[in-house]
Chains A and B, each alone.
Chain A
Amino acid sequence: MLEIENLHAAVDGRAILNGLTLAVAPGEVHAVMGPNGSGKSTLSYVLSGRDGYEVTAGRVRFRGEDLLALDPEERAAAGLFLAFQYPVEIPGVTNMTFLKHAVNGLKVQRGEEELDAMQFLKLVRQKAKALGMSDDMLKRAVNVGFSGGEKKRNEILQMAVLEPAFAVLDETDSGLDIDALKIVADGVNALRGPERSMLVITHYQRLLDYIVPDRVHVLAGGRIAQSGGKELATRLESEGYAAFVEKAAA
């Protein structure tokens, strides 16, 4: 589904990714782990097409398409979703309005019929309920005044409503207490399926106790330093990243 080959990327002229190669098949959940500064967030922003992240070499194919040639909204229409590490606050735009524009923006781009107000309301209410989110949260401005946990839950709600083929979860566990973590993980697990893949980016192994990955990759120095099964995450937790950082620097 997603094939990253020899990806090099720079921010402000500084190389962050240095030949990253990674492939995720349909239905698989992969975890990318790494210390601060290893390029985890850069990877998520390059994939979603944020300005200021310059790809200097390599390519990314997504469902057979050249992902890097697409605008952010086109990537979304192709089925890509990024759950932000720091969800953005948008004063003056309610969650409902935001979701409605997103749902119908995707439908229009895909040449499908837009949802009417009733269909949309029903869809969102049902998804919100499953995540334990109140109607009040839907009426509030996007992420404004939300706690850390509420913001992350809001990201998962968007994912549940938009049903992407591929989701990148960027440090979705950061800032969550254990109860919020369980709710978010349950929400993510509910979306797992044979046609949906995920890339779970995290610093800690903790999240992977709840979202159990098929593969684990260690990111160090802007490339994959090691890959393995879920037991690699447990090993990292006890041994730390030091060995990988040294190896990458060498």
Chain B
Amino acid sequence: MAGLVPIAETAGTAADSGADWLTGWRSGPADGSDAAPDWLGAVRADAADRFAAHGLPDRRVEDWRYTSLAHLTGLELDWAPAPADVAKESLPALVFGREADCRLVLVNGQVRPALSSVPALPGGTVLTSLAGALASGHPGVADLLKRRVAATGGALKALNDSWLEDGYVLIVPDGVTVDMPIEILSVGTGGALPPAYQPRNLIVAGAGSRVTVVEHHVGLCIGGYFANLVTDVAAGAEAIVRHCKVQDESREAIHIALLDAALDRGAMFDSFCFTLGGRISRNELRVSLDAPGAHCRLNGAYLAGGRQHCDHTTSVDHAAPETHSDQLYKGVLDGRARAVFQGKVTVRQDAQKVEGHQMSRALLLSETAEVNTKPELFIHADDVQCSHGATAGDLDAEALFYLRSRGVPEGQARQLLVEAFLNEAIDAVALAGMRLPLERNVARWMAERPRS
């Protein structure tokens, strides 16, 4: 229900959002323009009605209280960008800094096989495009999509539903372990008008399977674009899904992402989000721990400067007993940057022996930077252990003096302490190969960070 607006309250919002903006959106994918099955047309139309009724959320909507999309409604967007001409050589280096074993490339939300390199994956694992999976009538994909589309999820999700067309699909059969990390490179390009794209991604991990996905979001332009992403994750019993995301979009990009994960008995979802880029960004995670033993770890690190706004929103639903969740978000803010952390933990009645922990720490390097933290705990069972905490502050003056007294120049000492602060969150990334590239990103940001 999060983010869904009562219609009466926001009846005027859609119109207020700008008629031009909606005209472009209304056009939608043309009927028959793709090889999509018939049911999809109805799904899109229904979602379009839902979005039209609600409009974009404004700040009266509790879930969007601290993040304004007003900037978005001021943009005239290209809702159906023509396939951009992107050379393989122009793609950024891989997160791992070497030739990936497996990389799927999306440009403006569309899978581009010619730019990708996907080897044969073990045990019948499938990595493909949503457009392809829909055209070939993959039964698992259609079933999951129909279920997920029916679920409510706010206006931005309805917007994504209404353009359901492409994205990446990863299906790991029962009992299969995929050792090599699967890298998804999502590229945004500029254009005469900023492109808008709305990929829909699916990760289906069968019972007892193991898989690691690394999403890397970058911009190949200075200008802006609007990425509205939805990723659905279904983890079967005892499955282990690791999801690591590096959001390094262009400085003017608007990046709104929702990941919705449902976990079966004993399954583990391990998420790490590293946010560097974008003018306005939101990474929202909804995790439903549906059966005993399900466990999630949601960690994030962010760096924001200038007038960047980054929002990390989580919602964990302990729907079953003996489920665990752990969250740690750490960020560094400079200039006039603003960060939001909203973390909701719900423990349902009868969901006993649950543990849910949440911590948000922000380091403010300037007096004009700001962080809004909103923890929400809804606990309806009695045998639970839940905690939350938040801190915001400057660098430790004692540590800074200690370093300087040993001969470390002040700027370097500050950088070292910022890196140390973020490393706590980065250390939590289970994927060993991710640490070094993330630490390099921190060093780069400290050197080049935009000032107000």
Interface residues of A (CB under 8 A from B): 48-51, 71-73, 75-77, 81-82, 84, 87-93, 97-98, 101-103, 105-106, 108-109, 141, 158, 162
Query: Do B412 and A105 touch (CB < 8 A)?
Result: yes
Complex: A35 Cα to B421 Cα, angstroms = 38
Return the chain A residue nearest B406 by Cβ: A102
B418-441, CB under 8 A of A: which get 1 and which 0?
011101100000000000000000
Complex: A101 Cα to B407 Cα, angstroms = 8
Chain B residues lying within 8 Å of A105, measured Cβ to Cβ, are 406-409, 412
Assess A88 versus B402: contact at CB under 8 Å? Given A73-B408, A106-B407.
yes
Complex: A221 Cα to B32 Cα, angstroms = 91
Chain A residues lying within 8 Å of B398, measured Cβ to Cβ, are 88
Chain B residues lying within 8 Å of A76, measured Cβ to Cβ, are 404-407
Residue in A50, A89, A98, A162 whose CB lies within 8 Å of B401: A50
Q: List 6 A-B contacts (CB under 8 A).
A: A76-B406, A90-B396, A92-B420, A92-B421, A103-B407, A162-B407
Decide if B192 is an interface residue (CB 8 Å cutoff): no
Return the chain A residue nearest B424 by Cβ: A92
- Secondary structure at chain B's binding surface: helix, strand, loop or mixed? helix
Residue in A48, A91, A92 whose CB lies within 8 Å of B405: A48
Complex: A90 Cα to B419 Cα, angstroms = 11
Return the chain B residue nearest A90 by Cβ: B399
Chain B residues lying within 8 Å of A97, measured Cβ to Cβ, are 416
Complex: A115 Cα to B410 Cα, angstroms = 20
Complex: A72 Cα to B412 Cα, angstroms = 13
Chain A residues lying within 8 Å of B396, measured Cβ to Cβ, are 88, 90
Query: Do A102 and B407 touch (CB < 8 A)?
Result: yes
Decide if B417 is an interface residue (CB 8 Å cutoff): yes
- Going nearest first, the 7 A-B pairs with the smallest beta carbon separation are A92-B420, A76-B407, A106-B407, A102-B406, A72-B404, A88-B402, A105-B408
Complex: A102 Cα to B396 Cα, angstroms = 18
Return the chain B residue nearest A78 by Cβ: B407
Query: Do B397 and A51 touch (CB < 8 A)?
Result: yes
Residue in B406, B410, B421 whose CB lies within 8 Å of A158: B406
Query: Do A92 and B419 touch (CB < 8 A)?
Result: yes
Chain A residues lying within 8 Å of B407, measured Cβ to Cβ, are 73, 76-77, 102-103, 105-106, 109, 162
With A81-B405, A92-B424, A101-B412 known, 12 other A-B pairs at CB within 8 A are A49-B404, A73-B405, A73-B413, A76-B405, A81-B406, A89-B399, A90-B417, A92-B421, A93-B419, A98-B403, A109-B407, A162-B407
Chain B residues lying within 8 Å of A90, measured Cβ to Cβ, are 396, 399, 402-403, 417, 420
Return the chain A residue nearest B422 by Cβ: A92
Return the chain B residue nearest A93 by Cβ: B420
Query: Do B420 and A73 touch (CB < 8 A)?
Result: no
Best-buried of B399, B417, B419 by chain A (most CB within 10 Å): B399
Complex: A158 Cα to B412 Cα, angstroms = 18
Query: Do B423 and A101 touch (CB < 8 A)?
Result: no
Assess A71 versus B419: contact at CB under 8 Å? Given A91-B424, A105-B409.
no
Complex: A81 Cα to B423 Cα, angstroms = 29
Residue in B397, B410, B417, B419 whose CB lies within 8 Å of A73: B410
Complex: A92 Cα to B361 Cα, angstroms = 14
Complex: A75 Cα to B408 Cα, angstroms = 11
Complex: A89 Cα to B409 Cα, angstroms = 19
Chain B residues lying within 8 Å of A87, measured Cβ to Cβ, are 402
Chain B residues lying within 8 Å of A82, measured Cβ to Cβ, are 405
Assess A84 versus B420: contact at CB under 8 Å? Given A71-B410, A105-B409.
no
Chain A residues lying within 8 Å of B419, measured Cβ to Cβ, are 92-93
Complex: A84 Cα to B409 Cα, angstroms = 19
Return the chain A residue nearest B418 by Cβ: A92
Query: Do A88 and B399 touch (CB < 8 A)?
Result: yes
Chain B residues lying within 8 Å of A103, measured Cβ to Cβ, are 407
Task: Name the distance in Å between B57's Cβ and chain A's nearest Cβ.
Answer: 37
Task: Name the distance in Å between B50's Cβ and chain A's nearest Cβ.
Answer: 45
Query: Do B401 and A91 touch (CB < 8 A)?
Result: no
Query: Do A101 and B401 touch (CB < 8 A)?
Result: no
Residue in B405, B417, B421, B423 whose CB lies within 8 Å of A72: B405
